[in-house]
Every structure is written in structure tokens, then in C-alpha cells.
Amino acid sequence: MAKYNVHAGHCPQGKGASGAVGFLKESVEDRIVKNEMIRLLKSEGHTAYDCTCDVATTQSGCLARIVTKCNSHSVDEDASVHLNSGREDEKGDGDTGGVEVLIYSWASASKETAERICEEVSKELGIRNRGVKVDSSLYVLRKTKAPAYLIECCFVDDKDDYEKWDAKRCAKAIVRGMLNKDIKGGS
């Protein structure tokens, strides 16, 4: 069985460097997704460590705490859960912002997993698959020891994404992509 680090990005909502807000609050929803991912991975017999920063701190302080927690475990992959922003679609335009997954480089060992996660979340929630993107500037992708990916589940400021959003279904889709199989879901 595999071992995973899973964390929600940012500090808790309203405490330090919390995430984006719109129709959804990133620092609330990413924790729901993260908790469900950990539960599902464990129900499938895998080890899953929670590396979330749950204290009020700065952005750099939060990132440093997450990476320290991640690097304290020997794992197969690091999964960072986020929600995107920047669509500013308050009325709904009939099109979703969608899901994307960021990796450190095209040669990353996590590239295939990232592709599967995009596909599964897009299919499960009925939102656009924005695909895998490379971003070597992101601290978590640069500094973690294990292959890592950063999942932008949907857009917090897109009414169309909001209307399709379901954190637990998203988590299940992510875990299907991670494990490359259908999952039972546990009790």
C-alpha cells in the first residue's frame, strides 16, 4: 500500500494567510476535501498524513510549516488541495472555470496522477478540465521531497463552478485519480 501526504493550502479561514473567497471560501472547502481524501485513502488501506497548517501565520510561515510536515514523512506523493480564483463570474456565464493540477515540471513523476485527477474531477463535477500545468515557482512543489501536485479543484468566484461544487464528490474523484481505480468510499 502507498503512503501520501495530503494538505489543505493556506491557514484556517480568517486566521492569517487564508485562501481566496467568493461564492466559496477556499480555506473552508479545501479542508473538507482534504479530510475526505484522507478518510478515503485510509479506507482503501493506504497511509495518509495530514500536513495542513492549522495555525494563524503569514503565507511564508504557512508554507514552511506545510513543507516541514510533508518532509518529515517518507511518502509516495504529496497532494496539495486548493481552490482557484480569478474568474470573477458573479452572474454565471454558462461556462465553468474548472479544475487544473499544477506540477513542478513535465518530467515530474506525478504527471500521470495529475492528469488522472483533472479527468476524474472534471467528469465527476461536470466542470471544465483545464489540464495539467507546470509551475516551478510554487514553494510546495519546489521544496517537498516526494513527487507533488497542487490541485485547484474549481474557482471560488465562478457562479457556474459554485453551482456544481460538492467537496466530498470532488475528494472521491481526486482519490480515484490518485489510485487509478474506482473506490468503495468507506463508511
**pLDDT tens digits, 114-168:** 999 999 999 999 999 999 999 999 999 999 999 999 999 999 999 999 999 999 9
- Residue 19 has a pLDDT of 86
Q: How confident is the model at residue 34 (pLDDT cuts 50, 70, 90)?
A: very high
What pLDDT is recorded for position 110? 96
| Top-tier CATH class for 3-179 | alpha beta
Residue 180 has pLDDT above 60, yes or no: yes
8 A C-beta contact, residue 159 and residue 91: yes
With pLDDT > 70 as the criterion, what percentage of the chain qualifies? 98
Q: In the chain, what are the domain boundaries?
A: 3-179
Q: Which residue has the cell 473538507?
A: 32
pLDDT band at 108 (very low <50, low <70, confident <90, very high): very high
Compute the distance between CA of residue 24 and CA of residue 30 in angstroms, rounded to an integer: 10
Mean pLDDT, the chain, whole residue set: 95
Is the CB of residue 127 less than 8 Å from the CB of residue 164? yes
**Three-state DSSP class for residue 149:** strand
Say if residue 187's pLDDT is above 90. Answer: no
Residue 186 pLDDT more than 60? no
Q: What is the pLDDT of residues 65-89, one digit of tens each?
A: 999 999 999 999 999 999 999 999 9
d(CA 185, CA 58): 35
Where do we find the cell 496522477?
A: 113
Render the burial of 90-120: b for 16+ CB within 10 Å, e for the rest.
Answer: eeeeeebbbbbbbbbeeebebbebbbbbbbb
